[in-house]
Structure 1
Amino acid sequence: MKIKPLSVAIFTSLLACSLQASEIERLEIRSERMHSELNSIARQVTVIDQQTLQLEFASANNLADVLAKLVPGMAPPSPALTNFGTTLRGRNALVLIDGVPMNTNRNISRDLHNIAPSQVERIEVFRGGNAVFGSGATGGVIYIHTRSGSAQSSAQTQLSSRSSLTDFGRDSTSMTLAHQQGGSTGNWRYQFGGSLTQHQGFYDADGDMIAPEPSQGDESFSDILSLTGKLQRQWHTGEFVLSALYHNLEQDSEYASDPSVNTQPYISKAKAIKGLQLDKQNTIRNLVLNTQVRQDLNADHKLSAQLYHRDYAARFYPFDGRPFATWNHLAQTYLDSQTTGARLTLTSSLSHNLELDWGLDLSREKTAMPVTVYDGGAYDRSAGLVFIETGDKDFVPDLTHSNQAAFVQGRYQFNPDWTLEAGLRHEKIKASFEDFTTLGSQTQIHGSEYDYSATVHNLALTWQVNDNHSLYIANNEGFELPDIGLQVRYAASAFDLSQSNLSPVETDDFELGWRGNIAGLSISAALFRSESDLGGVVSQNMGLSLKRNQVRIKGFEASAAYDFNDQWHLDLSYSHASGEEKAENAEHYQPMYGFSIAPDKLAASLQYTNQNGWQSQLRVTAVMDQDYRINGTNAFGRRDVQGYQLVDLSSNLPLGDGTLTLALENLLNEDYFPLYSQLQRSGKNDTSLPGRGRMLSVSYQYHW
């Protein structure tokens, strides 16, 4: 991307001003198994507190939007209801809500859309491969803490409105009503909250309605109900926590994406067309029940135990798979998943300089993914607008995953300056499925099962050079279970899991990092490399080709924070990654596609806070140009991506007994296509969704 002269001036002046500063606050990492001070942990971490979240959510549509702006190494968000392509350092991230994994053995990529913003208290993002919490964290961990009760009674009610300013009206105004109630009685603390959001349509910089995303779906014209509850019993040596989360999204839209744009040259803007008749639209239902106990056994040993159950369901937009032999139907997939798990962690201080975290993880997940089939004739006669159900069929068989894992993580402090961290994790996985019939070819597949395992390690050395500087070097391994459903759903009659190409993805990461303060400027930087002999199972040509590529990724990240004085604060970050892969039996590597490796990203925010509590922020996010084509040829995820830059402005102002929040998203009304849209998820222009134009958000939170 050629950055405009105005942006060059802004970034240059901000960077120049950052050479005078004051020391920033030391932060504590709270997540289980990663507890530490931020300046002593041997990896790059982004901590987002509640005050920051409140300001950022004012100019963002969901959690993925916020994280993409704040976290170096995280890919730009998609306009769809998915985090497909929203990678972290070129790989997938494991999302946890209060320690409960949000991934499923069918990787449907909706992990960042399972909780409402008003329920989030704090987010900690650990970048780089990580196996401490189990499968799925080859790119890092996103640990979400929900709100907790406090000793003092409190209640807040918030009413919010978000409207397009390029086509202002009822169909472009979304509303949210949220309430939080917390307090204590005796040794018990409680927190209850709920929110209801009614999304309308979204509009681009030209004032045109953004078409619904026909591949993964989106949030337009949807109702989102989110409820949370948490009870905490505290005593002198421990704590008991019982929590529940319910998040439900249901779409009810009259619009579809006009298929006529697919005959136009790349990249032509997708168009919304009215008249959709579809009873079952995009849905998400996420129910999590969670129990945690923390107990000091004695002065040297602490116990943390967790038991959770998750009931999850999701439905997608119908897909016309009739041209493909592996589908041969006009069908709509949906997922039902139930997971029960337990975690046990013991923290033992064996001496004044040696501490161990060790324990067990257990989980069992059952997943079903059928399809709802629709009448192709009615669909064709209506030009893709009318869907008449004809029944349900198998698509992916019922899958069962059972995991057993043991781990040990040690931290040895040689002296105040040198610290060694090392750990091992061994995971045993059993996967199985029952007899079923494939959707396209109607092939009878006999059920089978397969046991496999992974052993991974981490090793890191941290040197506290002085009070202002620390260095670390780390070698971390991560692993990820491949999506069995991608291969099973197109299997031949002789298919057997034990003979399939479904070994876990095991990554070997090397990282060199530095954190320091120079004249009050707080800087964090890292060089990283990630390699794996097997990539994830990639489905191409609707399942006609499945491959496991050898992958190697390298990159650089840097962030800086600076306080000019008590009122002005600056944050800067830059991230770069490059990746290449080698197909099975190939001789040479080739660049990885854009759904894995994001373009370079530059982000800056300037905040102002006065003594009366008024807080305002100007945020700039720039995504650079990147050509993902090989020999100039367009393909899935391989396009010449044009960069773009977004400017957001938000303010919090104390008013009466509450806080008024005003925000302008896309302040300069940039006319652009997000990365996801330019790469064309469906391979057609009907997924070329433009970004949202200028939007106004107004919110008032009343403190009872």
Structure 2
Amino acid sequence: MNINKSYIAVLVSSFLSVSTFNAVAEDIERVEIFAERMSSDLESISRQVTVIDNEVLTTEFASAQNLAEVLAKVVPGMAPPTPALTNFGTTIRGRNALVLIDGVPLNTNRNISRDLHNIHPSQVARVEVFRGGNAIYGSGATGGVIYIHTKSGEGENKLVSSISTQISLTERTSDSMTSQIYQEVSGSYQQWSYLLAGSFEKTAGAYDADGDRIAPEPSQGDSIDSDIFSINGKIKYQWQDQSLEFSALSYQLEQDTDYASDPSAKELPYLSKAQSIKGLELDKQNEISNQVFDLSYKNRINDDHRLTAQLYYRDYESRFSPFDGRPYGTWNHLAQTYLESTNLGLRLTVNSSLSEQLDLDWGLDSSEEKSEMPVTTYDGDIYDESNGLVFQELGDKAFVPELTHSSRAAFAQARYQLNDAISLEAGLRYEEIEASFDDFTTLGQAVDIQGSDYDYDSFVSNFAATYQVNDDHTVYLAANEGYELPDIGLRIRYANEQFDLSQSKLKPVETQDYEFGWRGNFEQVAMSLALFHSSSDLGNVKSENMGLSLSRNKVEIKGIEVTLDLDINDYLALDLSYSYAEGKEKAEGADEYIKMNGFAIPPNKLSAALVYDNLQGWTSQLRLLAVSGEDYRIDGNNAFGRRDVESYRVVDWSNQVELPKGTLTVGIENLFNKQYYSVYSQLQRNGNNTSSIPGRGRLLSVNYQLTW
């Protein structure tokens, strides 16, 4: 493994030069996990877990724009942050992760990679990230599970008011000022508890370290110049050992910008900065609408059995930036895609203690998703004459027809305490899936495709052994299978006359993961180590040459993750993590493996936080993100996700001060005003410089919160 040791030197030199700042390390061995199918503590669980509580979130959001950025900085094994409104390329251990909000899955079969952008940071109370293949929650967790807990109304009656602003320090104008307000009322009365929280955020333009306005991201979109509304409501009734809770979450992002990415940058040599150009005339811009309704029932039947039942409904819409697909036979249009999806689901979990040594979690899942992906088409001549600024709508056409995707699953997970030191785990999950679509005509070639249906299933298992060497050291060995349902829409939108859903190689992605882990404590130091290997005979459906070629490659991934928490003294602590992964794939019919591209396997990443807590109401943190360079080209040739990526380092600074009334949080993102390009930007998602988006320059964030 080519571990770049220079990053250790960079970390030490960066932090020793600012010795007055530091972070109180968290003893992860004492952290409890709340997710209902993974409830445990970090001392006994047979996988690596990152728990990010509300205190850490508050600190990290002082120098980040959204939850996706925070997780990408903090979670080992997760790819670095991107500037776009997407988690495309933000893999965990080289694979996709399943995102849940209070147990409700956010993935859709037409995977558009916006799962981590469907909730506002103000509504998040806690995040638990389970790294590695996982089938307990269903499809999509081949890389892990990201379980988001929203804020709850249980506790004392209170009213929380918060106001915040952000402004670029490289271009201090009203055009660079983002503002946000947040209100929360919560409490309890007798057997009732409640919460009502809402926020409104108006984002502004972003500026790089040179003081230039950052161009809009033309492929996956961004949140520049957007209005963001969020409402979270909960009401809970509890009697004896039972409770019934209804919750409703609404998140709405609507972009309205006058700027576009100047198409002239396409002609410049790689890597040239994307340029922002004013004059955009586009009525329908990037948009996200996420509505989640959840009814949960919990019953502690007796001391040995607990029941959790969850009925949910999700209504989701998402719109992207227009794409000039006229040069490609599979598009033949200047068009803008958008997704419409609904999902009705039921999840049942029973936690049973069958003896002093044996626990069993078992349950049922059922869901029915309906989704479709039309496109809005635009006049290409007017677009060309306006230098890519004016979009005159011509109407909507089908791109991906309405898909019905039904699944039914059963699972069981057993834990057996063999003796005081050794515990064993084993689990099974079986799922049946039915998929169908109606007749439609393809967008590019206008081919009439007859509707069809297809049934398929998946059976996965897991096994693990944990050995507690002593009170300070634990080792484990795990074999986990995960699976992910293939993206049917990606397959059928480029279909030809002979297409048949049942013959389209849409078997699930089934992964075999092996992991060895260790967690240990040495007085003031807590450490962890994980070595992992993941393989699958069929990878995700890959679209190449704009859909003219679709493939399912054989994949092998291996890597290492290391974390260290050091309590330097009563006031100072250091939190460090290092991630390394390498992956190879072999195409159908090929004889040899080749290196996987940069959107799948990110470069090595070092993340570190140095925190100072004066124990009298002031906490200050410096966070370093260091990403190594990596050449993803094959034989020196550039291609999708295959560029020579240069290394970069970014330092953020955040402070929290407890005032006589309220809390003041001040953060500076990119403290040293480093001009850099993220991995996503260097790989050029749309294939040219219009997506070479630099990182934000020095940015000041101020938040004041008062609890009444």
Q: Give the alignment's TM-score, normalised by structure 1.
A: 0.98
The Cα of 1:25 is off from its aligned counterpart by 6.1
The Cα of 1:317 is off from its aligned counterpart by 0.5
Residue 223 of structure 2 is aligned to residue 213 of structure 1: no
CA distance in 2, matches of 1:507, 1:14: 44
CA distance in 1, matches of 2:135, 2:25: 37
The Cα of 1:466 is off from its aligned counterpart by 0.3
Residue 383 of structure 2 is aligned to residue 379 of structure 1: yes
Contact 1:661-1:698 within 8 A present in 2 as well: yes
The Cα of 1:3 is off from its aligned counterpart by 5.2
Residue 330 of structure 2 is aligned to residue 326 of structure 1: yes
The Cα of 1:32 is off from its aligned counterpart by 1.2
| Structure 1 partner of 2:65 | 61
| Structure 1 partner of 2:133 | 129
**Residue 254 (structure 2) aligned to one of 216, 232, 250:** 250
| Structure 2 partner of 1:468 | 472
Deviations 1:372-429 (CA, angstroms, capped at 9, x unpaired): 1111111111011000111111100100100000000000001121100000000100
| Structure 2 partner of 1:423 | 427
Q: How does 1:529-608 map to 2 (within 5 A)?
A: 529-608=533-612
Q: How does 1:480-559 map to 2 (within 5 A)?
A: 480-559=484-563
| Structure 2 partner of 1:340 | 344
Cα root mean square deviation, aligned: 1.7
CA distance in 2, matches of 1:288, 1:106: 18
| Structure 2 partner of 1:261 | 265
CA distance in 2, matches of 1:606, 1:214: 36
Contact 1:282-1:316 within 8 A present in 2 as well: yes
What amino acid is the match of 2:560?
Answer: F
Instruction: Give the SS at the match of 1:65.
Output: helix
CA distance in 2, matches of 1:151, 1:86: 36
Deviations 1:495-526 (CA, angstroms, capped at 9, x unpaired): 11101011100000000000010133111110
**Residue 296 (structure 2) aligned to one of 262, 279, 292:** 292
The Cα of 1:4 is off from its aligned counterpart by 10
The Cα of 1:665 is off from its aligned counterpart by 0.3
CA distance in 1, matches of 2:418, 2:491: 49
Label 1:464 to 1:117 Cα distance change in 2 as closer, same or farther (>3 A).
same
Deviations 1:244-295 (CA, angstroms, capped at 9, x unpaired): 1000000000000000010011000000100000000000000000011110
Residue 404 of structure 2 is aligned to residue 400 of structure 1: yes
Q: Which moved more, 1:185-194 or 1:419-428?
A: 185-194
Q: How does 1:67-86 map to 2 (within 5 A)?
A: 67-86=71-90
> Structure 2 unaligned runs (5+)?
none
CA distance in 2, matches of 1:229, 1:650: 30
CA distance in 2, matches of 1:652, 1:245: 28
What amino acid is the match of 1:452?
Answer: Y
The Cα of 1:118 is off from its aligned counterpart by 0.8
The Cα of 1:11 is off from its aligned counterpart by 6.5
Label 1:516 to 1:410 Cα distance change in 2 as closer, same or farther (>3 A).
same
CA distance in 1, matches of 2:18, 2:201: 37
Contact 2:25-2:575 within 8 A present in 1 as well: no
Residue 364 of structure 2 is aligned to residue 360 of structure 1: yes
Residue 686 of structure 2 is aligned to residue 678 of structure 1: no
Contact 1:22-1:521 within 8 A present in 2 as well: no
Deviations 1:101-155 (CA, angstroms, capped at 9, x unpaired): 1110100000000111110000000000001000000000000000011231111
Deviations 1:31-83 (CA, angstroms, capped at 9, x unpaired): 01100011110000000000110010010011011001110000011101000
Deviations 1:629-653 (CA, angstroms, capped at 9, x unpaired): 1111111101110011110100011
Instruction: Give the SS at the match of 2:414.
Output: strand
Residue 447 of structure 2 is aligned to residue 447 of structure 1: no
CA distance in 1, matches of 2:632, 2:247: 45
Deviations 1:565-592 (CA, angstroms, capped at 9, x unpaired): 3322220100100000000000000000
> Structure 1 unaligned runs (5+)?
none
CA distance in 1, matches of 2:225, 2:499: 42
Contact 1:480-1:506 within 8 A present in 2 as well: yes
The Cα of 1:351 is off from its aligned counterpart by 0.8
Label 1:151 to 1:21 Cα distance change in 2 as closer, same or farther (>3 A).
closer
Residue 35 of structure 2 is aligned to residue 34 of structure 1: no
Label 1:310 to 1:497 Cα distance change in 2 as closer, same or farther (>3 A).
same
Residue 97 of structure 2 is aligned to residue 93 of structure 1: yes
The Cα of 1:319 is off from its aligned counterpart by 0.6
What amino acid is the match of 2:58?
Answer: Q
Label 1:413 to 1:491 Cα distance change in 2 as closer, same or farther (>3 A).
same
Q: Which moved more, 1:546-555 or 1:149-158?
A: 149-158
CA distance in 1, matches of 2:115, 2:294: 17
What amino acid is the match of 2:401?
Answer: P
What amino acid is the match of 1:404?
Answer: R
What amino acid is the match of 2:649?
Answer: Q
Q: How does 1:587-666 map to 2 (within 5 A)?
A: 587-666=591-670
| Structure 2 partner of 1:201 | 205
CA distance in 2, matches of 1:401, 1:556: 36
Q: Alignment identity in percent?
A: 61
CA distance in 2, matches of 1:247, 1:443: 37
The Cα of 1:348 is off from its aligned counterpart by 1.4
Contact 2:25-2:574 within 8 A present in 1 as well: no
| Structure 2 partner of 1:156 | 160
Instruction: Give the SS at the match of 1:570.
Output: strand
Contact 2:424-2:464 within 8 A present in 1 as well: yes
CA distance in 2, matches of 1:59, 1:185: 37
The Cα of 1:236 is off from its aligned counterpart by 2.9
| Structure 2 partner of 1:370 | 374
Deviations 1:324-381 (CA, angstroms, capped at 9, x unpaired): 1111111110110000000011111111110100110000000011011111111111
| Structure 1 partner of 2:691 | 687
Residue 60 of structure 2 is aligned to residue 52 of structure 1: no
Instruction: Give the SS at the match of 2:43.
Output: helix
Deviations 1:644-672 (CA, angstroms, capped at 9, x unpaired): 11101000111231011110000011110
What amino acid is the match of 1:269?
Answer: K
Instruction: Give the SS at the match of 2:566.
Output: strand
Contact 2:183-2:199 within 8 A present in 1 as well: yes
The Cα of 1:494 is off from its aligned counterpart by 2.1
Label 1:95 to 1:14 Cα distance change in 2 as closer, same or farther (>3 A).
farther
What amino acid is the match of 2:607?
Answer: A
Residue 295 of structure 2 is aligned to residue 273 of structure 1: no
Instruction: Give the SS at the match of 2:269.
Output: coil
Q: How does 1:214-253 map to 2 (within 5 A)?
A: 214-253=218-257
The Cα of 1:24 is off from its aligned counterpart by 6.2
The Cα of 1:8 is off from its aligned counterpart by 4.7
| Structure 1 partner of 2:122 | 118
Label 1:288 to 1:21 Cα distance change in 2 as closer, same or farther (>3 A).
closer
Instruction: Give the SS at the match of 1:64.
Output: helix
Contact 1:23-1:520 within 8 A present in 2 as well: no
Instruction: Give the SS at the match of 1:297.
Output: strand
Contact 1:310-1:338 within 8 A present in 2 as well: yes
The Cα of 1:22 is off from its aligned counterpart by 10
Label 1:485 to 1:557 Cα distance change in 2 as closer, same or farther (>3 A).
same
CA distance in 1, matches of 2:389, 2:26: 60
Instruction: Give the SS at the match of 1:40.
Output: coil
Label 1:4 to 1:559 Cα distance change in 2 as closer, same or farther (>3 A).
closer
| Structure 2 partner of 1:177 | 181
